[in-house]
Structure 1
């Protein structure tokens, strides 16, 4: 079945070119490519801020499939999505879109967000807002792992309990929580024998040497603490029959992290030869996997929710050694695709939360403080490393199992199908009804973003009324209007006023004699007519005659 799909488009959310490679950008870029390639789409719509974003969207999609029908609509045209079914939002901040939709029609389409980092104050605020904003039963937040879903549910439970206590209300519901992993283009990670030979020669690796690899952002603050990994690697290297290497493929964030990673390795695992490869260059990022024999990423940081790199490693045919942490607990089967190293967390951390909430600590200090309370089992990690170093057949078998697992569960063709199934479920929910908090006649649909000319009604002497009678000012007419409009500052937001032709119709009617504001306002679109009459009053082109 061919369908129309839609998404909110901002270039920063769907592209990595010329930007630091971070998970949400990689995921967004791959999601859009996969939706176009595997979605069976008839057309793809985009919600954009302006013309520049619309052009960027069309160019982006055309580079993937020039034949696909595309259109872009701004927030002024919600009806442009009435046939789209669901608008995908590349993040958890869905409230703004729900309030925007409410001005139009709450059952016009569904909204579907997705979790990335959930640890920031903005991310947690966005999750909490899901219980206050007009999210409907036919909206969904996709959680990329069981761990991410557990965190989101805890925030919703705590926020919901507070709201019930504060307002004495009963049920407080947010969107549907769905579990769908991130995906990878598994074919693009196929091993490259020639690249392996070239890179290993360049890095000075012997035929029998064994190389571990870390790929991604090299950050103590927002990725992982490298020292425990170094301790485990050194223990594995002691007495090993083969020379061990560690490839750090990525970029240091911030640059000062270079010392943390390289000097730390020199101090804690001197028996392991460490290499840094700048994998921000596309060719290096594509090829460097082939130089390694296994992948490792012992994350201990709450910044992570899914962890895309281990899935990419499995797609590349590498066994993986990761911590039993966040999304890794879903993606890696211990003893089959590699090893998951047990972790322990110690709390409470109320002091960390208090300092972050008060602005005493930056986000970097918050997550780094939380990671102090997380440890992996270093002896178990050393044992896993030693197993993969010493047993080539085990490496091969685990790598083959990992590659098959990645293709079967995490290839984008599979993941996009799960999204489309979710969109179909949301459509069924819309057809079933059950709208929450429908807009009420006479009330503001968006209370905290109200009509300014209504909410500030106590400021003027009076509001323009339909029965107010108006007449032409002496000498007024279309030429006088044009002369006034040429004066700098007289027309500040012309797009909000009637057109010149509509103004001319108002002036022509008044040339016959006085008329009511209601009659004159009807000569222009709703809202603009009354605003245009006040503008004519402002510049003495019409006057009251009652």
Structure 2
């Protein structure tokens, strides 16, 4: 089968969606599919670039900066038309939010379209530009949902509470996001030995955006005097969180290294004792970083965000602990409970790895996505896959 993915960006651009698309595309190639990804270049004015990464044909389209989190790429429509002609996909798999996916409204309706609904666009009070532009965006969003042949939601709670998906619930399918273990280079033996004899380490990973709640995690560290915290990532709120660390005089125990290399991030994963996702609102739709933590056998402390898939990923009392969002004291108590109970912590870490293997390993996720394709293509889907494997 020939699959064309439409992404906002593509790995090595940092981001949970970008990593997921790369893991899925690579796994589809392993399964015998021909895969192309059309995405935006992440460096403004850089010329278009075509490369093959792990067997995936990747075309990065020229951009001219961004406006309200949106890449400005007037040539994306032309590039999409060219890809449809030359690659001749059996299915187009568009990952949204992504304004450039709207170009599919001009494509032939005979081309099956799958929308991967990673999150709603939430016009937050923290983002004035998004609030102003959401109304016209929503018009095209509804048209794209009507045009789609299938919609993949990443969790049942998110699908059930999404106002945008309410009208198209009949063509929604739930497939959780997945991670390729080899990308995070999981090794229990390495992790078990790395943190022993050291100060317990709490790890958080993600973009410094308003909804991540990192400031609450920093406040929580005031009550965790025998632990250290690393928050790996970058973004518009990083400077504010750095100022908070200084104001609370936590610089000796709280580290904000910014965006780190893959090698350094793997080191942080291996040294961590507990992973924390302190997000405060539904813009955190799933939490791919939690899945990566579970691949490493780490217990997770996360927040109970109504309507988000975060609660589906982390089961309270089984794979970690869940606390109210925006509550620094509750975060401190939950993290402290795990740090003080080695046996309980290790049991939750084992349960986290087991849940990863059952639900979030990219292999089974790829199979579920293929089932969605098969529903659209009917009896044609299996012969196409068999033909690809025969080659």
Interval containing the TM-score (normalised by the shorter chain): 0.7 to 0.9
Provide Cα deviations, 1:392-440, integer angstroms capped at 9, x if missing partner.
1111111111011112211111111111111111224999xxxxxxxxx
Aligned pair count reads 347
Structure 1 residue 333 corresponds to structure 2 residue 299: no
Distance 1:74 1:155, change over 3 A: closer
Structure 1 residue 393 corresponds to structure 2 residue 343: yes
Q: For residues 8 and 387 of structure 1, what CA distance do their matches in structure 2 show? A: 43
Which structure has the bigger radius of gyration? 1
Structure 1 residue 217 corresponds to structure 2 residue 213: no
Give me the TM-score of the superposition, normalised by structure 2. Answer: 0.74
SS, match of residue 339 in structure 1: strand
SS, match of residue 276 in structure 1: strand
Q: Is the 8 A contact 1:297 1:323 kept in 2?
A: yes
Deviation at 1:73, TM superposition (A): 7.4
Structure 1 residue 145 corresponds to structure 2 residue 155: yes
SS, match of residue 207 in structure 2: strand
Any stretches of 5+ residues in structure 2 without a counterpart?
A: 60-77, 124-129, 382-391
Deviation at 1:337, TM superposition (A): 0.4
Q: For residues 16 and 94 of structure 2, what CA distance do their matches in structure 1 show? A: 16
Q: For residues 337 and 413 of structure 1, what CA distance do their matches in structure 2 show? A: 21
Provide Cα deviations, 1:150-181, integer angstroms capped at 9, x if missing partner.
453x1355xx7xxxxxxxxxxxx688222222
Structure 1 residue 90 corresponds to structure 2 residue 95: yes
Distance 1:311 1:156, change over 3 A: closer
Q: For residues 91 and 6 of structure 1, what CA distance do their matches in structure 2 show? A: 14
Deviation at 1:291, TM superposition (A): 0.9
Q: Is the 8 A contact 2:9 2:39 kept in 1?
A: no
Q: For residues 135 and 54 of structure 2, what CA distance do their matches in structure 1 show? A: 34
Deviation at 1:320, TM superposition (A): 0.6
Distance 1:54 1:245, change over 3 A: closer
SS, match of residue 23 in structure 2: helix
Match of 1:129 among 140, 143, 153: 140
Give me the TM-score of the superposition, normalised by structure 1. Answer: 0.55
1:503 matched residue in structure 2: none
Q: For residues 76 and 185 of structure 1, what CA distance do their matches in structure 2 show? A: 30
Deviation at 1:307, TM superposition (A): 1.1
Q: For residues 195 and 393 of structure 1, what CA distance do their matches in structure 2 show? A: 16
Q: How does 1:47-446 map to 2 (within 5 A)?
A: 56-57=49-50, 59-60=51-52, 63-65=53-55, 74-75=80-81, 78=84, 84-92=89-97, 93=99, 96-101=102-107, 104=108, 106-116=109-119, 118-120=121-123, 121=130, 126=137, 128-132=139-143, 135-136=146-147, 139-152=149-162, 154-155=163-164, 176-187=171-182, 188-191=184-187, 207=197, 209-219=199-209, 221-227=210-216, 229-237=217-225, 243-251=226-234, 253-263=236-246, 265-266=248-249, 273-325=253-305, 326-343=308-325, 375-376=326-327, 378-428=328-378
Provide Cα deviations, 1:76-127, integer angstroms capped at 9, x if missing partner.
5746566x332011224587344222xx3x2343343432462254677555
Q: For residues 27 and 266 of structure 2, what CA distance do their matches in structure 1 show? A: 18
